[in-house]
């Protein structure tokens, strides 16, 4: 039962992070290992920066839209 509660807590926290826009690095690492074995995996800071740029743009917005 304790293991089940840990799993529920983990899923809840993952959902909460995704709702506020924090990417899931652990899921990225697992997917890279499954789908692209042998390819380099980004570090957490590089991953976070790439996800933020993908979400908010790479400085291409010249008007005040945000």
Flag whether pLDDT at 59 surpasses 80.
no
Flag whether pLDDT at 32 surpasses 90.
yes
Average pLDDT value over all residues in the chain: 84
Domain borders along the chain are 23-55
Question: Among candidates 30, 26, 23, which has minimal Cα distance to 48?
Answer: 23
Query: What whole-number distance in Å separates Cα of residue 51 and Cα of residue 47?
Result: 6
Q: What pLDDT does residue 3 have? A: 92
Residue 11 buriedness (CB in 10 A; 0-12 / 13-18 / 19+): exposed
Of all residues in the chain, what percent are helix, strand and coil, respectively (each to 5)?
A: 65, 0, 35
Query: What whole-number distance in Å separates Cα of residue 48 and Cα of residue 66?
Result: 20
pTM of the model: 0.61
Q: What pLDDT does residue 60 have? A: 62
């Amino acid at each position: 039962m304790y293991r089940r509660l840990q799993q529920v807590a983990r899923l809840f926290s993952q959902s909460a992070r995704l709702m506020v826009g924090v990417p899931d690095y652990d899921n990225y690492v697992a997917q890279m290992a499954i789908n692209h074995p042998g390819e380099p995996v980004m570090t957490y800071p590089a991953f976070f920066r790439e996800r933020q740029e993908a979400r908010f743009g790479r400085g291409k917005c010249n008007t005040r839209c945000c």
